[in-house]
Amino acid sequence: MREAWEQAVRIWAGLPWDAILGWQGWPPAAAVAVAAAGILWLLWRRAASRGTHYGSADVLTALERVLRGDRAGAFDVLDGATRTTDAPPEVYLAMAALLRTLGHPERSVQVHHAVMLRPDLDKALRTRAAVGLASDYLSLGRADQAEALIKELPRSLRKQDALLALQRTAAIRAGDWKEALSAGGTLARRARDGGAGVSAIYSRMAVAAIEQGDERQAVSNFKRALSGDRANVHATEGLARLYLGADKRVRARRLLERAIDEVPDAAPRLLPLLRVAMRSRARYRDYLEKLVERNVASPWVDLELAELAYADDEMDHAHEILSDLVSLYPRSIDVREAYLNLLIAVADERTIFAEMDRFMALAGEEVQRFQCGACGQRSAASFTSCPSCSAHGSVTYAP
């Protein structure tokens, strides 16, 4: 039983829990279940190779809680195991990882520190504790300490993808751009991501430069970001705003037009900037109508045209546009909202209240209209940087 328990927790402690729980946007219970199934398979394989039966009730109980996604229950099992005087360090490492995923990184720090203070601790376990402690520090916003810990690890270990990713994140948050580009560049080359990874780092560098009041450096960094990934909406929006602030409207217009062609789902963020960049209202309308002919960035372009028609008191034309959109996008809260606003101006009360009921029913369902193409996170609002995984330019419209 003791040997079976140690086998399970040793595998368990070695799993990258932060990565697993955010795996491809899966719900935590599903991601943990897949990881636990892998543990069961590994135990079965080891048992088969040694001719030993690992059927301990305690081990299976702990794994069963993981399979159910019961992380708190799994922690209770580990906590119970530490009541013994000879509990192995693997148990504590697993417990620290679970504490962090349960939202208690400060307690995880204490456990990792306690493990690292053990005399004669195995080198591999000491390294594992240091990596876990670095993750704790990142969770607590102490990026400088996380980066320092990672830099103390053996160079051969830091070349592994998981450690490179951790090192890149720590360096970005600490503002160590040289280290961030070094780690991020290595990861990008291995992943062959077409430059998106390094582009995202340059975007962050540009934001940091803006915060320091260095707009010239920000422009340079945004340009570098776009040279690595032309579809980086975060960099496009940032650079366009800087151009508009410097009254370089032609540059902003060309940049935004290209971005809307390449990333149509970013149109709700970019079209308002383009409207400012184009001095002529008639020219802006002509541009929108050409996009409609090419069927680009619908329904956002159509909504812009409807808004222009409404502002020019062309109610019939606005009604025609919005009626077509309602039939094409019956579950789009943006389209329904624009249509309701128009009816309030031109329709009778009965029609208005009927549409209002439909709008409220749709809004009550909290439609998640936008989705991250990197991790699958859904959001009610458009974004240039995913609120979940921070991927830049990954938004897709998915009502």
Q: 379 forms bridges with which residues in the sheet?
A: 370
- Are the CB atoms for 214 and 221 separated by under 8 Å? no
Q: How far apart are CA 356 and CA 387, in angstroms?
A: 30
- pLDDT per residue as tens, the chain (399 positions): 445 545 544 544 454 444 444 444 444 444 444 454 444 444 444 444 444 333 234 445 555 676 677 777 777 777 777 776 567 787 788 778 878 877 888 988 998 988 888 888 888 888 888 888 888 888 888 888 888 888 888 877 777 777 777 778 877 777 888 877 877 777 777 777 677 888 888 888 898 889 889 999 999 999 989 988 888 999 999 999 999 999 999 999 999 999 999 889 889 889 999 999 998 889 999 999 999 999 899 899 999 999 999 989 999 999 999 999 999 998 888 898 898 888 988 888 888 888 888 887 776 565 677 888 878 888 877 787 788 777 776 777 766
Q: How far apart are CA 305 and CA 267, in angstroms?
A: 13
pLDDT of residue 283: 93
Q: How far apart are CA 102 and CA 22, in angstroms?
A: 13
Q: What is the DSSP string of 256-324?
A: HHHHHHH-GGGHHHHHHHHHHH-S-HHHHHHHHHHHHHTT-STTHHHHHHHHHHHHTT-HHHHHHHHHH
Percentages helix, strand, coil for the chain (3-state, rounded to 5) are 75, 5, 25
Of 331, 328, 276, which is closest to residue 304 (Cα–Cα)? 276
3-state DSSP assignment of residue 384: coil
Q: What is the DSSP string of 188-231?
A: HHHHT-TTHHHHHHHHHHHHHHHHTT-HHHHHHHHHHHHHH-TT
Q: How far apart are CA 100 and CA 90, in angstroms?
A: 16
- Are the CB atoms for 8 and 91 separated by under 8 Å? no
Lookup: tokens for 379: 């959001």
Strands 370-372, 395-397: pairing kind:
antiparallel
Q: Enter the pTM of the model.
A: 0.57
Backbone angles phi, psi at 217, to 5 degrees: -65, -35
Strands 395-397, 378-379: pairing kind:
unpaired
- Are the CB atoms for 288 and 257 separated by under 8 Å? no
Domain ranges of the chain: 2-140
Length of the chain: 399
